[in-house]
C-alpha cells in the first residue's frame, strides 16, 4: 500500500456563495489576492515536502479558471517538487489531454520532469472535467476518443528512440516527433488514467494502466473496480489483477480524539460543499453519453450532489468518501472500504482542503503517517491480488 498526499491547492478566501453564480469559470479574478496566493503556493509546497518527510508520496493535479484549485499548470508545480523533494514518488493526475492541443508538448514536459526527478515520476492522464470545456475552447463531444489517441501518441513519443516519426490520427497530426529529453524510466514512467465510471474503468483495465477513482464511495468504487478487472481479463492480461493497479481517493483527518478529528474533517468538507456550478457548465452537450443524460432527465443524480444537500462528517464516513477519527477508527474505516471493493494498492489522501490551516494540515498528516500508514503497509501489501 502506498499513500500519496493530495491537496487541490484551493483559494478559499471568497465572498459569500450567494454573491456569485459559480465558483468555477465565471468567478471574477478580482477576488484573488496575489499576496495571499503567493503565501498559499509556498505553504502547499511546504506541506508536500513535510508529507515526504513522513514517508508519503506526492500527488498534484490541475484545474482552470477556478478558486477550487489555483494550480492551472501542474507540470510547473511538479518541476518545483522534482527539484525540492528527494525520495517521494511524484504523481501528476493529471494532464487533461482532451483539452490539450499538443500531446507532444505533454510528452516533453513529462520526460523532462522524470529526468529532473531522476526517475520518480508517475504520469497521470485525465479526460478533463466538464466545467473546463468552455475555457479550453474545446469540443465536449468525443473527448474520450481524443484522450486515448493522445495517450497513444505520448506513449509512442516515450518509447521511440531512433529519430523522428510521424503520427496521423483522427484528431492529432504530427509530421516530426522526436522528443528531447527522453524519460529517465524505461520504457516509460508508470502511467495512470482516472475514471469514476465503470465504462471508463473497463477501457483502462484493457490497456493495463493504473486506475484512479475519486470519491466514488462504497458501491461506486466496487462497480468501477469490477469493470477494470473485467477489462483486464478480457484483454488477455491475466486472471490476477494486482492491487497496485487500483487507487482510491478520499478525504482524511486523523487526531488523538474523535472530537478533534471531526473538527479538522469538517473543514475538509469545503472541497465538496463549495462546488457551486450552474448546470450548463456542469453538463455541456456531448460530454456524457446519451444514455446517461436520459437517466439524468429521469431523476438520476451524482451521489455527491445528494450529499451536498446534507453534508456532515458522519455522512461522509458512512458513504466511504471520508476517513476521520482516531488512528484506530481511521484504520477500521479504511479496512471496511478495502474489503468491500476487493482491495487497492494506492490511496490518494486528501489531507488538506478549504480552510484547514497549515498547522492543522501538518498535524493530521503526521498522525496518519505515523499511526495509521504503517498498519496499512503491513496488512495490505501491494503484492496482493485484487478481488473478493
3 state DSSP class of 233: helix
- pLDDT tens readout for residues 244-262: 999 999 999 999 999 999 9
Q: How confident is the model at residue 226 (pLDDT cuts 50, 70, 90)?
A: very high
pLDDT at residue 298 greater than cutoff 90:
no
Cell 480552510 belongs to residue: 355
Is the model's pLDDT at 94 over the cut of 90? no
181 touches 112 (CB < 8 A): yes
Residue 90 has pLDDT above 90, yes or no: yes
The DSSP secondary-structure symbol of 285 reads: T
Over the chain, what is the mean pLDDT? Answer: 96
Task: Look at residue 303 in the predicted model and tell me its pLDDT.
Answer: 66
Give the position of cell 464511495.
Answer: 217
Residue 208 backbone dihedrals phi, psi, to 5 degrees = 80, 10
CA distance 224 to 333: 20
Model confidence band, residue 117 (pLDDT cutoffs 50, 70, 90):
very high
Mean pLDDT of 143-162: 98
Name 229's Cβ contacts closer than 8 Å, sequence gap at least 6.
205, 241, 342, 386, 387
Domains and CATH numbers, the chain: 2-379 (3.20.20.30)
3-state secondary structure at position 210? strand
Q: What pTM does this model have?
A: 0.96
Beta strands, E only, 178-245: 191-194, 210-214
For 101-132, give one letter per residue: b (16+ CB within 10 A) or e. Answer: eebbebbbbbbbbbbbbeebbbbbbbbbbbbb
Condensed to tens digits (0 to 9), the pLDDT of residues 328-365 reads 999 999 999 999 999 999 999 999 999 999 999 999 99
- CA 368 from centre of chain: 20
Amino acid at each position: 500500500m502506498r499513500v500519496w498526499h493530495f491537496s487541490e491547492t484551493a483559494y478559499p478566501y471568497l465572498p459569500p456563495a450567494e454573491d456569485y453564480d459559480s465558483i468555477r469559470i465565471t468567478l471574477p479574478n478580482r477576488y484573488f489576492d496575489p499576496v495571499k496566493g503567493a503565501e498559499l503556493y509556498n505553504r502547499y509546497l511546504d506541506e508536500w515536502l513535510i508529507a515526504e518527510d513522513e514517508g508519503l508520496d506526492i500527488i498534484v493535479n490541475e484545474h482552470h479558471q477556478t478558486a477550487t484549485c489555483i494550480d492551472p499548470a501542474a507540470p510547473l508545480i511538479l518541476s518545483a517538487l522534482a527539484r525540492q523533494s528527494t525520495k517521494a514518488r511524484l504523481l501528476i493526475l493529471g494532464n487533461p489531454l482532451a483539452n490539450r492541443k499538443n500531446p507532444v508538448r505533454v510528452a516533453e514536459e513529462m520526460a523532462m520532469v522524470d529526468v529532473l526527478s531522476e526517475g520518480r515520476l508517475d504520469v497521470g492522464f485525465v479526460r478533463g472535467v466538464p466545467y473546463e470545456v468552455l475555457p479550453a475552447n474545446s469540443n465536449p463531444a468525443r473527448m474520450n476518443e481524443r484522450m486515448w489517441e493522445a495517450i497513444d501518441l505520448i506513449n509512442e513519443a516515450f518509447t521511440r528512440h531512433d529519430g523522428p516519426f510521424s503520427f496521423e490520427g483522427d484528431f492529432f497530426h504530427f509530421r516530426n516527433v522526436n522528443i528531447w529529453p527522453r524519460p529517465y524510466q524505461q520504457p516509460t514512467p508508470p502511467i495512470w488514467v482516472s475514471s469514476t465510471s465503470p465504462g471508463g474503468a473497463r477501457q483502462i483495465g484493457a490497456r493495463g494502466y493504473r486506475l484512479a477513482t475519486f470519491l466514488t464511495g462504497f458501491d461506486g468504487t466496487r462497480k468501477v473496480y469490477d469493470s477494470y478487472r473485467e477489462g483486464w481479463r478480457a484483454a488477455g492480461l491475466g486472471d490476477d489483477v494486482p492491487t497496485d493497479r487500483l487507487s482510491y481517493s478520499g478525504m482524511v483527518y486523523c487526531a488523538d480524539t474523535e472530537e478533534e478529528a471531526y473538527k479538522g474533517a469538517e473543514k475538509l468538507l469545503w472541497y465538496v460543499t463549495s462546488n457551486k456550478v450552474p448546470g450548463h457548465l456542469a453538463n455541456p452537450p456531448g460530454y456524457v453519453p446519451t444514455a446517461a443524460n436520459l437517466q439524468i432527465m429521469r431523476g438520476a443524480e451524482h451521489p455527491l450532489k445528494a450529499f451536498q444537500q446534507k453534508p456532515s462528517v458522519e455522512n461522509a464516513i458512512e458513504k466511504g468518501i471520508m476517513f476521520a477519527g482516531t488512528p484506530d477508527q481511521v484504520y477500521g474505516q479504511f479496512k471496511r472500504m478495502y474489503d468491500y471493493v476487493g482491495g487497492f494498492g494506492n490511496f490518494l489522501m486528501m489531507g488538506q482542503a478549504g480552510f484547514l490551516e497549515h498547522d492543522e494540515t501538518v498535524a493530521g498528516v503526521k498522525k496518519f503517517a505515523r499511526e495509521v500508514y504503517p498498519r496499512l503497509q503491513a496488512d495490505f501489501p501491494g503484492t496482493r491480488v485484487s478481488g473478493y
